[in-house]
Structure 1
Amino acid sequence: MTTNGIEAVFLETHNWGKAAKFFQALGYELEFSTDHNSGQLRNGDGPYVFIAEVPEDRKPGMQLVLKAADEDALAADPAIEVVTPFEETHYGTREMTVRDPDGRLWTMQVEK
């Protein structure tokens, strides 16, 4: 197996405070917030939700991140179209972007 389920959901919002309160009302606990209107919440042992505020002129997006178990197997599998190979991130992980048969982009993440 080359993935181990969902690692995270990355959300963009126009109002960090309202979005954080919404998820807290759903039972998520704030793990940390940043000084640039973003933060991470989690509900139990499940995937974390990272929310970042974007300008009003930008449509808020969403990204689902899968936890990769075997970086080498994913990159070598001919059935997987690699868009961006695994690269180090500034937040302590390695990520790869792949495209599914219908054209959707998926992010695979491994811990460094």
Structure 2
Amino acid sequence: MTTNGIEAVFLETHNWGKAAKFFQALGYELEFETGHSSGQLRNGDGPYVFIAEVPEAKEPGMQLVLKATDADKLAADSAVEVVTSLAETHYGTREMTVRDPDGRLWSVQAEK
């Protein structure tokens, strides 16, 4: 197996405070706030939700992140179109972007 479910949901918002309160009302707990209008929440053992505020002129986006158990094997699989190669992040993981057969982009995250 090269992936193991959903690792995270990345959300963009126009109002970090309101978005955080919304998810807290749904039972999520704030794990940390970055200090620059973003932070991470989690509900139990499920995927974490990372929310970042974006300017009003930008449409808020959403991205699901798959958890990789063998990212190197996945990156080498000819059935997977790799859009951005596996690379280290500033927050302690390795990530890559892949495209599914219908053109959707998926982020894949692995531990270092």
Is the TM-score greater than 0.5? yes
Q: Give the corresponding residue for 1:81.
A: 81
Q: CA deviation at 1:58?
A: 0.4
The secondary structure found in structure 2 opposite 1:50 is strand
Show structure 1 runs of 4+ deviating over 3 A: none
Q: Give the corresponding residue for 2:12.
A: 12
Q: CA deviation at 1:88?
A: 0.7
Q: CA deviation at 1:26?
A: 0.3
Q: Give the corresponding residue for 1:100.
A: 100
Structure 2 length as normaliser, TM-score?
0.98
Distance of 2:71 and 2:35 partners within structure 1? 32
The one-letter amino acid of 1:49's match is V
The one-letter amino acid of 2:16's match is W
- Please, which runs of 5 or more residues in structure 2 have no aligned partner? none
- Please, which runs of 5 or more residues in structure 1 have no aligned partner? none
Q: Identical aligned pairs, as a percentage?
A: 85
Q: Give the corresponding residue for 2:56.
A: 56
Q: Give the corresponding residue for 1:111.
A: 111
Structure 1 length as normaliser, TM-score?
0.98
Distance of 1:32 and 1:42 partners within structure 2? 10
2:52 pairs with 1:46: no
The one-letter amino acid of 2:42's match is R
The secondary structure found in structure 2 opposite 1:87 is strand
How many residues were matched structurally? 112
| CA-atom RMSD in angstroms | 0.5
Distance of 2:72 and 2:105 partners within structure 1? 19
Distance of 1:29 and 1:85 partners within structure 2? 32
Q: CA deviation at 1:33?
A: 0.3
The one-letter amino acid of 1:12's match is E
The CA deviation string for residues 32-66 of structure 1, in whole angstroms up to 9 with x for no partner, is 00110000000000000000000000000001000
